[in-house]
Amino acid sequence: MRHLKRNAKLGRKGDHRNAMLANMVCSLIKKKRITTTLAKAKAAKPVAEKMITLGKKNTIHARRLAAARLKTSARTYFRGKPTLKGKDVREKWRNEEDVVHILFDEIAPGFKDRKGGYTRIIKLGRRRGDAAETAILEWVEADGQEPEDAE
Fold classification of 14-139 (topology level) = 50s Ribosomal Protein L17; Chain: A, (3.90.1030)
Determine if residue 128 is left, alpha or beta; phi over 0 gives left, psi from -120 to 50 gives alpha, anything else beta: alpha
pLDDT for 81 equals 54
pLDDT for 122 equals 97
pLDDT for 77 equals 56
Per-residue pLDDT of the chain (151 residues; tens, 9 = 90+): 889 888 889 999 999 999 999 999 999 999 999 999 999 999 999 999 999 999 999 999 999 999 999 998 756 555 555 566 778 877 887 888 889 999 999 999 999 999 999 999 999 999 999 999 999 999 998 555 555 555 4
